[in-house]
Amino acid sequence: MRNGTLLKIEDLYVNFKTDEGIAKVIDGVSLDIKYGEVLALMGETGCGKSTVAKSILRLLPKNAEVRGKILFKGTNILDLPESELRKIRGKEIGMIFQDPLTALNPVFIVGNQISEMFKIHKLRIKRTILDEVIELLKNVRIPDPQRRYYSYPFELSGGMRQRAMIAMMLAGRPSLLIADEPTSALDVTIQAQILKLIMDLRNDYNMSILLITHDPGVVAEMADRIAIMYAGQIAEIGPVRDIFLNPQHPYTKGLLRALPLGHKEERELENIPGRVPNLIEPPPGCRFHPRCPHAIEKCKKEKPKPVVVSNEHFVFCHLLRGG
């Protein structure tokens, strides 16, 4: 396993032009993913997790304005022409979407859709493309892969469709796999199977993974580090164990108290008062300050800088700087 940083995001800003105004969806996000690491990006629905993921592959709609740097193996993806980006997208960086039924083309058989990866990226193969695809279907544990090669997406269960999507992403043997809520459309039993499959493949293929989720159980099971997002800003980032056992940001504390974490003793789940801000007119400074019970004047005016809690554990909060 290689050492060092595979992906580094520096001061990422994403705005969307809308009829109501400019939505400031991502506000200066910085994070990195090491070789062989699983980094989880966690937060409430609408906090910007998927926007960060799609920014990496430049899959945002035309009304998006993007600033900052996204360095993949030292190259800024945001500066690449489309012809060079296509060499990375799907080959070196793969993505699994929330709903595999909409991600797969309903009018083509699954095998042909996976075969396209070999043709588009001109991948080297030792056998026929048919044999390579069937081998991939075996690797993701689809039963009777020879028959499933000729199946249409609607003929597969949700779990098998997700496995087919994973097989498609594995064709290029990517260095980075982006998994955007990969089990949200599946029942609990299938969820566990897919998550185990992803982790097994991570080890087999030596991949790094950016895991987008709002499920703390999935994070605890899969991730090495976790970044907590709120309203387009990073609130806290560090090793999973450190943040779950010693959360520092008021939002992280509130988020974890509001989630069922499987404690033996019964406890009433808490909620965070207030509402998520309108990102067309977001609050200045720390975007959590209107809902924070500990907010001070500085929180309302200045965006907090990272404070070191311990090794690799950082929190973006003025309170830890003593105001």
Decide the pairing of beta strands 22-34 and 208-213.
unpaired
**CA separation for the pair 314, 32 (Å, rounded):** 13
Quote the pLDDT of residue 119: 83
Q: Are 167 and 140 in contact (CB under 8 A)?
A: yes
* Alpha helix stretches (DSSP H) within 70-181: 82-88, 100-103, 110-120, 129-139, 145-148, 158-170
Quote the pLDDT of residue 266: 61
pLDDT, averaged in runs of 10, over the chain (323 residues): 87 96 97 96 91 95 96 96 91 86 88 88 79 92 94 92 90 91 80 88 91 89 95 97 95 85 60 90 95 94 94 92 58
Q: What pTM does this model have?
A: 0.90
CATH 3.40.50.300 is right for the domain spanning 5-92+174-321? yes
Quote the pLDDT of residue 227: 97
Quote the pLDDT of residue 54: 95
237, 242, 245, 251 alpha-carbon torsion, rounded to 10°: -10
DSSP state of 278: P
How far is C-alpha 64 from the chain's CA centre?
19
**CA separation for the pair 281, 279 (Å, rounded):** 5
Q: Please state the φ and ψ torsions of residue 28, each to the nearest 5 degrees.
A: 75, 40
Full strand arrangement of the beta sheet holding 306-310: 93-96, 176-180, 208-213, 38-42, 225-230, 233-239, 313-316, 306-310
**CA separation for the pair 158, 21 (Å, rounded):** 38
How far is C-alpha 229 from the chain's CA centre?
11
